[in-house]
Structure 1
Amino acid sequence: MSAETPRGRTVVLLICCLSVSVAALDVTVASVALPSIQRELNAPVSGLQWTIDAYGLVIACLLVFSGSLADRFGRRRVFQTGLAIFSAGSLLCGLAPSLTALVVFRACQGVGGSMLNPVAMAIVATTFPEPAARARAVGVWGAVGGLSMASGPVLGGLLVDSLGWRSIFWLNVPIGAVVIFLTGKFVPESKAVRGKRFDPLGQLLVCAFLGPATAAVIEGPRYGWDSPLIVGLFAVAAVSVVALVVVERRRAEPLVDVKFFRSPVFSGAVVVGVVALMAVGGFLFLNTLYLQDVRGCTPLQAGLLTIPMAAAVAVCSPVAGRIVAVRGPGPALVLAGLLLTAGTALLTATGPETSVGYLVAAYVVVGAGAGLVNTPITHAALSGLPRDQAGVAGAIASTSRATGGAIGVAVCGSIVAGSAAGFRPASHVAWTVLACCGGATVLFGLVSSGRTRRRLVDEAR
């Protein structure tokens, strides 16, 4: 079956949707298993943070590199390689004998996961060259990813309750094998006319910035914020980001072109990608601990309680696209930020006896905000740069979202782990921090509206 025919294109889109579904599920499906992992592997809170962040952080570090790798060596080849690494990492996660092994294997999953989303997007773009058809395909692709991420806690709860926490990782193995086979059979090979040169120093500096910064936030409560280790990690991160700016400005083909950040629209989209996804990532981490450790829910009950959030994400994701198409990203970001702020603020009042109706209302509000936020972030990033830089803009926007999710987990976990007062009062502080992230999203949305944004976009183009 040729990818040039309508049926062939549909099959290629289905394959890409399957890949994004497993990658997106792994962002959230593990969250509901955290208490079970904690009990079996005797893990501290910092260990739970690393279980989530080892995956998200590696993806954040390698997204841009993986995209350039696919352009250079072939998108189908890199896509299949990523699926194989992701599936192997998933199998090893399910067999992990210790917390350390689980974290290492989650990082392996992240290596493979970094080759899925950006490469799948490139495959979709080359398969659907007509703008209208491409827009519809990208809309389907994005909706599947959002729905998969939102339904992760439900599926995770079902699997953990029935088969144990290791089953959430084993699920990826047969799906990955099927997608590898289908990719080889139906997806044509493609690559860029001129592949981008590798920038190993730039890649090293990106890792040296994100890795130590996240490690310092996670391990700060354990070692002390003024300990030589934590101070040293923050120092390495600070030196690395300065060196990254200096080095990348001098390269003809940098991994991250710092000139892009001269565009206020693009820079703002990157910043809001971080702060908005901090709220979403922090919510998923805190909420699973609250439901299972404070309320005593089983993993399945905890997953079922988050169905309203998943439904809100599914409903609001396509609505965001329509709002952006008519009014631009500003109004969608303002509404998303207001909803994230309101939902997380409602959760500051939760306790062991909080009614289910109250929780459902808060989850619907948070889910609506999460569903509305991704499309305007991507649109703002793309509109803030010239059209021929769309691929790089999309990759950096994805990196900002992955980084934000990892930081949200790190910050909330550190607040909870560093408190002597117990989980409940500490979680209220964490919910307040996440509400402030929603407020920052509102501010960017206001800046992104009106004449100022139009003038900045025109200048970028």
Structure 2
Amino acid sequence: MAASSATVGSRSSRAVVLTVTCLGQFMVLLDNTIVGAALPDMQHRLHTQLTGLQWIVDAYVLLVAMLLLSGGVFADRFGRKRVYLTGATVFTAASLVCSLAPSLGWLVAGRVLQGIGAAALSPASLALLAAAHPVPQERIKAIGLWAGLSGIGLAAGPVAGGVLTQAFGWPAIFLVNVPVGAVLLLVGLRHLGESRNPSAPAIDIAGTVLSVLAVGVLTYGLIEGGARGWTSPVILGSFAAAVVLLGAFVAVEARRAAPILPLRLFGQRLFTVSNAAMVVVGFALMGSSFFFSQFFVYVQGSSLLRAGLQTLPVSLAMVIVSPYAGRLAARYGFRVVVTTGLALAGLGLLALGTVHADTGYGNVWWRLGLIGVGFALAMSPLTGAAIQAVSPRESGLASGISSTTRQIGAVLGVALLGAIVRTRQSSGASFETGLNSAFLAAGAVVLVTALSTGLWLVRSKSAEDGAAPHRCAEPAAVIPLNEESANSR
């Protein structure tokens, strides 16, 4: 692997790399949670319905989910610095487009561009950091700092979103990215060294395009089904197209020598079960958090700022608990920790499904905290289980697939839980009743998954106890990354 002296050189140059990569990941993670606080204001100012809000969130998450693995390969093949700065440029420009968007269509287009930028920026940032720290122990410490410091963006998102939206309106949550992106570009161009991996696999363009189209068409059907009618020819056609595209994706991946998603990995039960559970985690966490601010604003009458603060227990609990999840998994095993975490999250969602307009916050915050603790306990060990199921040389790929499945679950969660709320409303129920139904449905799915992991999430026969503990310690809230770039190949 070629690397310039600026990349692997002095302590001060490594500090610059750490600062730049953390700041970039902080910006992306902040965008994950800051949008939720602004959704009620977007709905009011853009004169859109629930469907429009779903597209604002899913347009971003969909592109991140489907392009993340390709982003890591791009960084390895064409240069980590080049891809990182390109991603930062696209993300910053897209943030400006979002802040100036005069309509829902323009905002969704800006979110698509943000997703493309994030899918390039995130894996490249980790790859740059790994290249700057060739010594394994130093690399582990640097990645821990990167994950922890950038993860603060998750906790800051709800508060920052509430403050900015309350004071300046929703465009401010995107405009704040512009100066941060400008600093990244100026410092990155001057101080980052280039590195690449000449032996990186070829880019699977066909697989990437088919995966984006398949999940995109499925998402369209789920989001628009409530508005157009589930038996509408357009909706039925979208579901049929999704099945055809998914079949084509499987056929293409099965024949490629270096597929973006090696299907043979799913022959390992540990890998399959952990990734299936990760889909449910993304589904329930993102799908339910989509409605948190809306509940506090529309059902309980909170201001935007107060609603942002009221949703804080979820992300705060995740940031605090996540670093300990890997240690617990190394001590007690993946199955115990994951099953316990999913059980706690499921119970928290069921409890949240019983709150009403007159429920005091003192009886709400602990439910949100329970959800955050539960998912924090589950996510990192699930990634660790997926890594343990494969050979060491494929650990980065396994981690990237695990993160991608979580994002796919997030796309489906926003679409499906939104469909539940919309369907309940169309049958004459109130928005509050629709939210309760969505939270209860999410909780039930998570509890069933907890039972499944308790039965089937067993350690691979060939795996060793305590495998990859530092990977399990990755904060669960960190946005998906293709960690293959971080490994020596």
Give the TM-score, by structure 1 length. Answer: 0.95
- CA deviation after TM superposition for structure 1 residue 106, in Å: 0.5
Q: Which residue of structure 1 aligns with residue 23 of structure 2? A: 18
1:120 & 1:354 partners in 2: Cα distance?
43
Moved more, 136-145 or 339-348: 136-145
1:341-380 aligned within 5 A: 341-380=346-385
Unaligned 5+ runs, structure 2:
1-5, 469-489
Q: Which residue of structure 1 aligns with residue 439 of structure 2? A: 431
2:276 & 2:155 partners in 1: Cα distance?
23
Cα distance change, pair 278–204 in 1 and its aligned pair in 2 (3 A) = same
Q: What is the SS of the residue equivalent to 1:114?
A: helix
- CA deviation after TM superposition for structure 1 residue 19, in Å: 1.2
CA contact (8 A) 1:281 1:409 kept: yes
Moved more, 187-196 or 215-224: 187-196
Out of 205, 210, 213, the residue aligned to residue 208 of structure 1 is 213
- CA deviation after TM superposition for structure 1 residue 100, in Å: 0.8
1:325 & 1:187 partners in 2: Cα distance?
35
CA contact (8 A) 2:388 2:460 kept: no
Q: Which residue of structure 1 aligns with residue 10 of structure 2? A: 5
CA contact (8 A) 1:337 1:440 kept: no
Q: Which residue of structure 2 aligns with residue 44 of structure 1? A: 49
CA contact (8 A) 1:9 1:127 kept: yes
Q: CA RMSD, aligned part only? A: 1.9
1:140-151 aligned within 5 A: 140-151=145-156
Unaligned 5+ runs, structure 1:
none
Q: Which residue of structure 2 aligns with residue 290 of structure 1? A: 295
Q: Which residue of structure 1 aligns with residue 268 of structure 2? A: 263
Cα distance change, pair 334–140 in 1 and its aligned pair in 2 (3 A) = farther
Q: What is the SS of the residue equivalent to 1:29?
A: helix
CA contact (8 A) 1:265 1:457 kept: no
Q: Which residue of structure 1 aligns with residue 75 of structure 2? A: 70
Residues 166-201 of structure 1: per-residue CA shift (max 9 Å, x gap):
000001111111112222233221111213212222
- CA deviation after TM superposition for structure 1 residue 2, in Å: 6.0
1:259 & 1:135 partners in 2: Cα distance?
29
Q: Report percent identity of matched pairs.
A: 36
Q: Which residue of structure 1 aligns with residue 249 of structure 2? A: 244
CA contact (8 A) 1:79 1:115 kept: yes
Q: Which residue of structure 2 aligns with residue 453 of structure 1? A: 459
CA contact (8 A) 2:293 2:311 kept: no
- Structure 1's consecutive aligned runs of 4 or more residues displaced over 3 angstroms after TM superposition are 144-147
Residues 211-266 of structure 1: per-residue CA shift (max 9 Å, x gap):
01111111111111111111111111111111111111111122221112212222
Q: Which residue of structure 2 aligns with residue 324 of structure 1? A: 329
Cα distance change, pair 410–183 in 1 and its aligned pair in 2 (3 A) = same
CA contact (8 A) 2:314 2:372 kept: yes
Moved more, 276-285 or 76-85: 276-285
1:2 & 1:80 partners in 2: Cα distance?
15
Q: What is the SS of the residue equivalent to 2:336?
A: helix
- CA deviation after TM superposition for structure 1 residue 454, in Å: 3.5
Q: Which residue of structure 2 aligns with residue 94 of structure 1? A: 99
Q: Which residue of structure 2 aligns with residue 394 of structure 1? A: 399
1:200 & 1:287 partners in 2: Cα distance?
37
Q: Which residue of structure 1 aligns with residue 112 of structure 2? A: 107
CA contact (8 A) 1:333 1:441 kept: no
Aligned AA (1:239) = V
CA contact (8 A) 2:7 2:194 kept: no
Q: What is the SS of the residue equivalent to 1:454?
A: coil
Aligned AA (1:162) = A
- CA deviation after TM superposition for structure 1 residue 10, in Å: 2.9
Moved more, 114-123 or 320-329: 320-329
Give the TM-score, by structure 2 length. Answer: 0.89
Aligned AA (2:139) = R
Aligned AA (2:96) = L
